[in-house]
């Protein structure tokens, strides 16, 4: 039975769902000859780790108890003093992480699964990968930091997996890597990579006011608590940057042209979230309505997409043919079109659920299993 030792970073929605997937898949993984040993967990304030990382693991019933505690807002620090584990504060945990990474990284192997949304994990990940550890990411920030940090993570490309940073469980990164490795040059990638904005743009196509659609998306749980976090386009820009860098473009987030769906005067620094929802949104209806009407008269539709072509990387509203894969997009699905020498006339199209804790965690779990050959039995 091959054993994969794992430290999970982030106990939010994706992290908790990953724990549940690991526990639920025990019998399935056993048939494959693999066992995932969760030896440590980190939240924003602390780290919990077993007393002996070589021989012990966090038991499944305790992992589920942690999920319930985190859902209720408790910190891992509340578990200090109970059971055969140790709990460290943030200041204490950095040294402990390096100690564990040094002991396991070059012996039995150790994987870090970053399911947080924090930039504070970047330094830790850069250090542990140099100690022989593997990294699996749902967190986009380590890959969209400086190019120097990006290069450090990819000094050992076999040790890093990051499918869930772009399309949750969709095989976007895997497909791009296969095309790249085959020597087939990719010259254009167009994608709708936000379930929120995909839903918004397909709904306004039916004549619904932009403000009404955004409020409905918030009610359905598609948006962040402040919808401007989605409407700014920054999340799509980070995903576009990850793809662009994968294609060899050594660019930064500042290099990307990003179209926000609200003006600066309605930004968080100038207007509260409540004021934006009550008064700001309706002021945007006319412009969106006019653009929808113009696109329709041209036989097209509006989609919020990223476009990566050569060194160009842009994020914003594009007018696209109604009968194209992106034009046919409805609801909160993600769609990516990849054009290359082999996929010149008819692009490779990847479509499906591109958001949600369940699909994102499933993508992380698949990535963890994908690196099992790097671990000793």
The answer to whether residues 242 and 140 touch, using CB atoms and an 8 Å cutoff, is: yes
Residues 6+ apart with CB under 8 A from 97: 7, 47, 124, 128
Task: Please give the torsion angle defined by the CA atoms of residues 237, 243, 244 and 249, in that order, rounded to the nearest 10 degrees.
Answer: 140
Looking up tokens 């969209």, which residue turns up? Answer: 144
Distance, CA of 78 to chain centre:
28
- Catalytic residue of the set 70, 140, 218, 239: 239
The answer to whether residues 2 and 372 touch, using CB atoms and an 8 Å cutoff, is: yes
Q: Comparing C-alpha atoms, which of 361, 366, 371, 354 is closest to residue 19?
A: 361
Strands 111-114 and 2-9, by their bridges, are parallel
Q: Decide if 239 is catalytic.
A: yes
Give the active site residues: 239
């Amino acid at each position: 039975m091959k054993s994969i030792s794992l430290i999970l970073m982030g106990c939010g929605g994706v992290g908790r769902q990953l724990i549940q997937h690991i526990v639920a898949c025990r019998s399935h993984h056993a048939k494959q000859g693999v066992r995932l040993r969760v030896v440590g967990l980190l939240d924003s304030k602390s780290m919990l780790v077993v007393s002996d990382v070589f021989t012990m693991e966090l038991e499944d019933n305790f992992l589920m108890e942690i999920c319930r505690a985190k859902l209720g807002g408790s910190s891992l620090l509340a578990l200090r003093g109970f059971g055969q584990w140790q709990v460290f504060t943030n200041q204490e945990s950095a040294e402990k992480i390096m100690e564990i990474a040094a002991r396991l990284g070059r012996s039995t192997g150790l994987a870090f699964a970053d399911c947080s949304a924090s930039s504070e994990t970047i330094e830790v990940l850069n250090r542990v990968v140099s100690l022989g550890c593997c990294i699996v990411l749902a967190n986009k920030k380590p890959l969209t930091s400086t190019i120097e940090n990006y290069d450090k993570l990819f000094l050992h490309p076999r040790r890093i997996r990051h499918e869930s940073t772009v399309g949750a469980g969709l095989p976007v990164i895997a497909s791009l890597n296969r095309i790249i490795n085959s020597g087939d040059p990719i010259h254009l990638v167009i994608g709708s990579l936000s379930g929120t904005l995909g839903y918004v743009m397909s709904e306004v196509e039916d004549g619904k006011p932009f403000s009404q659609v955004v409020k409905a998306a918030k009610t359905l749980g598609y948006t962040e608590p402040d919808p401007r976090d989605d409407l700014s386009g920054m999340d799509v820009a980070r995903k576009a940057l990850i793809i662009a860098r994968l294609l060899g473009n050594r660019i930064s987030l500042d290099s990307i042209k990003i179209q926000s769906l609200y003006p600066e005067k309605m930004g968080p620094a100038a207007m509260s979230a409540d004021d934006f929802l009550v008064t700001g949104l309706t002021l945007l209806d006319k412009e969106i309505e006019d653009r929808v009407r113009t696109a329709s008269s041209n036989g097209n539709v509006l989609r919020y997409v990223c476009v990566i072509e050569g060194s160009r990387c842009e994020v914003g509203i594009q007018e696209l043919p109604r009968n194209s894969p992106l034009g046919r997009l409805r609801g909160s699905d993600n769609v990516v079109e990849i054009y290359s020498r082999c996929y010149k006339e008819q692009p490779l199209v990847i479509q499906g659920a591109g958001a949600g804790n369940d699909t994102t965690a499933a993508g992380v779990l698949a990535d963890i299993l994908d690196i099992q050959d790097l671990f000793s039995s």
